[in-house]
């Protein structure tokens, strides 16, 4: 299993994310994510309604049918 960290900026960039890293161990991805979240919270704008966020996600084996279902209906 492999993992990446997805990072989303504040809500003024709806739907925008970036993928960082490629981790073979979950704890390494979680450590990276925790550092990113701490940095986001430290630099948070009090006037911003929504702050940025970071998440650890599993990297899946590419399957066209699954990707189409997700892109078309948000379903797996």
pLDDT of amino acid 23 = 96
pTM of the model: 0.75
pLDDT of amino acid 74 = 80
Residue 12 reports pLDDT greater than 80: no
Q: What is the pLDDT of residues 15-51, one digit of tens each?
A: 788 999 999 999 999 999 999 999 998 887 777 777 7
Least Cα distance to 18 among 52, 64, 65, 63 occurs for: 52
Answer positive or negative: Cα dihedral of 11, 12, 14, 16: negative
Place of tokens 């379903």: 75
């Amino acid at each position: 299993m492999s993992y990446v960290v997805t990072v989303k900026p504040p809500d003024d960039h709806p739907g925008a994310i970036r993928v960082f890293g490629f981790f073979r161990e979950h704890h390494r991805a979680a450590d990276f994510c925790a550092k990113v979240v701490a940095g986001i919270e430290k630099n948070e704008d009090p006037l911003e309604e929504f702050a940025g966020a970071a998440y650890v996600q599993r990297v899946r084996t590419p399957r066209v049918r699954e990707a189409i279902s997700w892109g078309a209906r948000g379903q797996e």
